[in-house]
């Protein structure tokens, strides 16, 4: 760990079982990472880092970021109905699509600017590095909680033709084919093609539609070319594409408020829409509550209404998703006498179409359709000095330009595919509410949100090697960020066409007073700039033991919410001042946004101390970190009826401990423990989102018009379990004829946590553990393995929330149950 960067065997924070032979290994092997923008041994990096090797991810059946987060303490990633929840050390961004991320993701050096990109499947990886804590100096904005650095596999120029194919079959008719082939047409050119195909019928049963829920089909490829142009210049080009299709979603309503007496007692002021939804469900589907509570069961129509046979009855798309991701990366490394000049050019884009049955009922009632398109170009140029000098440094500049477009429709059907006429004898609830003046069956709001962003930065980090055993690193980054947004919305119905603006008074009045949604046309811009300093002191206590202390600052850029349910600025929530026949512009100004439309920058001060130790002749690795972070203007997501708004919590205090331990117990057995303790709470948050119970008593709860509030000061932040841990083992036994028997597994534990912004105790997720096992036989070129994930078949909720419209009812997203399977891998 001295300036000479010795090459004695070192350890990584290896979390998973190895896919390579372990027999006869006497020491833990060294792992190289790029967490500080240069190649280093993980044990020489003075920050809290976990490194997961690509072959280990594949062997453990970890196919994406969500699955990986189970194995990394203080990391939580889970796909919801709208966006992806990405939290590290109790800090994340929630579900509003206007948010950028608190945990930045980088693929081959290119920043992935949106949370949706975390859903792309893993494909032909070399390793994944998880960097905890703010990484503002070298990685930039939107890393206030940490960064995930993904490095994909590349060929070696001049290497022989080789490849690998792995075939898996698992529960729910799941099949996976993945692998790569690589070779060298010449001594200075290497080519590689990685590929993956996966399909599954889904792990939940929709008892209403008679089909599986969450069916997935995805396919991807990555082409890589590495050209050693000269002895000094190395060129690495990558193109990847991933397509993902999901039918239905693994979500259900486990907590339906089935007792009418309880509804009246707890929610006496519930809306007319809640009343009709409960009445229809109780009348036509009296077993809904019992069926929904069954393990792995769903009971909803997904937009088809009473019958799938007559096609989609509401919205544009049935419940599901269709996603496409493309990325181009060009890395140039030029070796100079003084160091290495690196250029990283990136272009990434995606588009997706979502259909969401947002009432979670077997009724054609409310449906949401989203189309989103994103395109980003980035360029980084940096120079890293030679190592081993008194002063080492990395300096560089960064530029990024991106464009985000969101096109959304939320449709309410108060005919309910004919159920309302059967029950009430009127065409729709709209007819009943307006005394026959408004006869529409379906009412919709249509929202278009387009944002252009530009960002540039200059950064540098220098390390003074004061002695062979003492180093001080100073870093500084300056960033400017600009955003221009256009956000407009109109109301429509099936009388004029749900995609055509309607000026009907009742259509606009019902959307405003019942859903706080109005026609508007906002055009705004914002600019911000920040200086981000850091300092890190490192002391090599012994050649195999490092202690460090650090301070750093970070920020996450502010922006504009994409929520539908927001009122133009001069209106009170839920009011509609217009008269029949009066133009919108005559009664309010639709161009003035409310104060929640723009949210402020999030800022963080972070302190950390830690140590990295190799003990007992490099057979035991012990890494630890203790941290304290202070967040100002913490950006939080608020559920607002059908969509998500945002607010800035005043302050949040977070502290914790992290431990990575890896022990080579014998030449056959390796054991690892990764654990964390986290204390994450709001310091001041008096105007937090109110619970459904509070809103029934005071519909204006938490606003200036209300008489109550939900004060979460001192309460836990979202997705911040107090304890997380992963205990793993890896065993290998050499047999005759070059065969090896191996076994591996892990138990991952997550304590209970709050999954929403209001900390409603009904939604709190209970603590859980998942156990995975693998057993197999391998030789030099092949491997056969049986595996089980969540072998005890635990029912695990990954998110819980208020069901839209149905005050008192709560819906959940559910993780996969027991998965059993076999995998065969062949290498050539």
Residue 203 lies in a domain: yes
**pLDDT bracket for residue 464 (50, 70, 90):** very high
Report DSSP state, residue 118: G
Rounded to whole angstroms, how far apart are CA atoms 447 and 517? 10
Residue 476 lies in a domain: yes
**Number of domains forming the structure of the chain:** 1
What is the average pLDDT score of the chain? Answer: 91
The pLDDT of residue 684 is above 80: yes
- Comparison of pLDDT for 148 and 16, the residue scoring more: 148
- What are the DSSP calls for 436-474, one per residue? TS---SEEEEEEEEEEEEEEEEEEEEEEEEEETTEEEEE
pLDDT of residue 22: 41
Q: Minimal CA–CA distance to 411: which of 487, 493, 321, 490?
A: 493
Q: What is the pLDDT of residues 645-656, one digit of tens each?
A: 677 777 889 999
The pLDDT of residue 816 is above 70: yes
Q: Are 810 and 800 in contact (CB under 8 A)?
A: yes
Q: What is the pLDDT of residues 630-647, one digit of tens each?
A: 999 887 766 554 445 677
Rounded to whole angstroms, how far apart are CA atoms 247 and 321? 7
- Here the CATH number for the domain that contains residue 188 is 2.40.170.20
pLDDT of residue 27: 74
**pLDDT bracket for residue 43 (50, 70, 90):** confident
The pLDDT of residue 273 is above 60: yes
Residue 193's contacts (CB-CB under 8 Å, 6 or more residues apart) are 180, 181, 182, 221, 222, 223, 224
Question: CA 212, 217, 223: angle at the middle one, nearest 5?
Answer: 165
pLDDT of residue 25: 53
Residue 628 lies in a domain: yes
Residue 703 lies in a domain: no
In the structure, how many helices (H) and strands (E) does the chain have? 11, 40
- The stretch 556-566 carries a mean pLDDT of 88
Domain range for residue 405? 32-684+716-827
Q: Minimal CA–CA distance to 66: which of 121, 128, 146, 142?
A: 121
Residue 11 lies in a domain: no
Q: Helix (H, G, I), strand (E, B), or coil: what is residue 224?
A: strand
Q: Which residues pair with 394 in a beta bridge?
A: 384, 461
| Both tokens assigned to 12 | 């990584």
Q: Helix (H, G, I), strand (E, B), or coil: what is residue 246?
A: strand
The pLDDT of residue 253 is above 70: yes
Look-up of token digits 């290998």: 732
The pLDDT of residue 234 is above 50: yes
Helix or strand run (H / E) with residue 263: helix 260-266
Q: Are 65 and 119 in contact (CB under 8 A)?
A: yes
- What are the DSSP calls for 61-100, one per residue? T--SHHHHHTTSTTEEEEE-SSSEEEEETTEE--S-TT--
Q: Minimal CA–CA distance to 719: which of 77, 266, 214, 227?
A: 77
- For residue 712, how many other CB atoms are within 10 A of its CB? 22
Q: Minimal CA–CA distance to 629: which of 658, 601, 604, 603?
A: 604
Q: Which of 41-55, 281-295, 577-591 has the lowest mean pLDDT?
A: 41-55
| Both tokens assigned to 519 | 């026609």
Q: Which residues pair with 443 in a beta bridge?
A: 412, 493
Rounded to whole angstroms, how far apart are CA atoms 6 and 3? 8
Q: What is the pLDDT of residues 774-790, one digit of tens each?
A: 999 999 999 999 999 99
**pLDDT bracket for residue 824 (50, 70, 90):** very high
Residue 122 lies in a domain: yes
Helix or strand run (H / E) with residue 34: none
Residue 706 lies in a domain: no
Q: Chain-centre distance of CA 260, in angstroms?
A: 37
């Amino acid at each position: 760990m001295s300036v000479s960067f010795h090459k004695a065997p070192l350890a990584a924070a290896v979390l998973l079982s190895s896919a390579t032979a372990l027999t006869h290994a006497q020491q833990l092997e060294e792992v190289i990472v790029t967490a500080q923008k240069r190649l280093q041994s993980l044990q020489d990096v003075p920050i809290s880092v976990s490194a997961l090797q690509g072959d280990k991810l594949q062997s453990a059946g970890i196919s994406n970021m969500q699955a990986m987060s189970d194995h990394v303490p203080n990391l939580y990633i889970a796909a919801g109905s709208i966006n992806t929840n990405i939290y590290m050390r109790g800090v994340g961004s929630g579900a509003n699509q206007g948010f950028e991320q608190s945990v930045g993701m980088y693929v081959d050096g290119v920043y992935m600017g949106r949370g949706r990109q975390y859903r792309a499947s893993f494909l032909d990886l070399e390793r994944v590095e998880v960097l905890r804590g703010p990484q503002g100096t070298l990685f930039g904005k939107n890393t206030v909680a940490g960064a995930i650095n993904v490095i994909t596999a590349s060929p070696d120029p001049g290497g022989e033709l080789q490849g690998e194919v792995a075939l898996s079959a698992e529960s729910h008719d799941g099949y996976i084919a993945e692998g790569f082939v690589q070779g060298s047409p010449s001594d200075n050119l290497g080519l590689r093609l990685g590929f993956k195909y996966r399909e599954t019928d889904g792990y939940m049963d929709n008892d209403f539609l008679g089909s599986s829920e969450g069916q997935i089909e995805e396919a991807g490829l990555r082409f890589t070319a590495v050209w050693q142009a000269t002895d000094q210049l190395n060129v690495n080009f990558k193109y990847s594409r991933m397509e993902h299709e999901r039918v239905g979603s693994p979500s259900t309503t486990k907590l339906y408020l089935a007792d009418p007496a309880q509804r009246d007692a707890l929610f006496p002021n519930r809306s007319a829409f809640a009343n009709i939804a409960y009445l229809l469900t109780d009348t036509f589907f009296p077993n809904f509550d019992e069926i929904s509570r069954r393990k792995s069961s769903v009971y909803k129509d997904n937009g088809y209404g009473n019958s799938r046979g007559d096609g989609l009855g509401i919205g544009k798309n049935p419940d599901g998703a269709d996603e496409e991701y493309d990325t181009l990366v060009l890395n140039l490394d030029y070796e100079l006498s003084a160091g290495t000049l690196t250029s990283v050019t990136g272009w990434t884009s995606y588009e997706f179409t979502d259909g969401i049955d947002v009432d979670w009922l077997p009724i054609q009632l409310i449906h949401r359709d989203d189309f989103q398109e994103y395109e980003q170009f980035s360029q980084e140029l940096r120079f890293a000095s030679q190592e081993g000098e008194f002063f080492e440094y990395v300096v560089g500049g960064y530029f990024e330009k991106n464009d985000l477009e969101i096109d959304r429709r939320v449709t309410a059907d108060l005919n309910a595919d004919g159920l309302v006429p059967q029950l009430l004898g009127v065409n729709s609830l709209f007819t009943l509410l307006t005394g026959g003046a408004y006869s529409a069956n379906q009412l919709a709001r249509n929202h278009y949100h387009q944002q252009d962003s530009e960002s540039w930065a200059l950064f540098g980090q220098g390390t003074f090697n004061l002695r062979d055993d003492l180093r001080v690193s100073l870093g500084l980054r300056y960033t400017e960020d600009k955003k221009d947004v256009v956000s407009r919305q109109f109301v429509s119905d099936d009388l004029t066409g749900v995609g055509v603006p309607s000026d009907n008074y009742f259509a606009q009045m019902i959307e405003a007073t019942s859903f706080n949604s109005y026609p508007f046309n906002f055009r705004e811009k914002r600019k911000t700039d920040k200086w981000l300093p850091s300092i890190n002191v490192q002391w090599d206590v012994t050649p195999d033991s490092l202690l460090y202390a650090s301070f750093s600052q970070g920020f996450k850029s502010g922006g504009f919410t994409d929520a539908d349910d927001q009122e133009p600025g001069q209106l009170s929530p839920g009011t509609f001042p217009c008269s029949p026949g009066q133009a919108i512009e005559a009664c309010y100004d639709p161009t003035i946004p409310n104060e929640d439309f723009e949210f402020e920058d999030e800022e963080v001060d972070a302190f950390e101390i830690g140590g990295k130790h190799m003990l007992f002749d490099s057979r035991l690795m012990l890494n630890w970190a203790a941290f304290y972070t202070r967040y100002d203007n913490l950006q939080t997501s608020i559920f607002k009826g059908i969509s998500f708004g945002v607010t800035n919590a005043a302050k949040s205090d977070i502290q914790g401990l992290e431990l990575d331990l890896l022990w080579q117990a014998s030449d056959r057995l390796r054991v690892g423990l990764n654990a964390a303790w986290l204390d994450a709470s709001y310091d001041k948050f008096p105007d937090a989102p109110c619970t459904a119970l509070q809103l029934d008593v005071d519909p204006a709860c938490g606003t200036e018009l209300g008489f109550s509030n939900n004060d979460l000061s001192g309460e836990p932040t979202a997705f911040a379990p107090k304890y997380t841990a992963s205990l793993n083992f890896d065993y290998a036994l050499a047999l005759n004829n070059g065969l090896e028997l191996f076994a591996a597994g892990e138990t991952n534990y997550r304590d209970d946590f709050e999954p929403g912004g209001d900390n409603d105790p009904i939604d709190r997720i209970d603590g859980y553990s998942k156990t995975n096992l693998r057993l197999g036989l391998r030789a030099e070129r092949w491997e056969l393995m049986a595996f089980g994930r969540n072998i005890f078949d635990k029912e695990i909720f990954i998110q819980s929330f208020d069901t839209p419209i149905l005050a008192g009812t709560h819906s959940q997203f559910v993780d996969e149950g027991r998965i059993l399977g076999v995998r065969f891998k062949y290498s050539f």
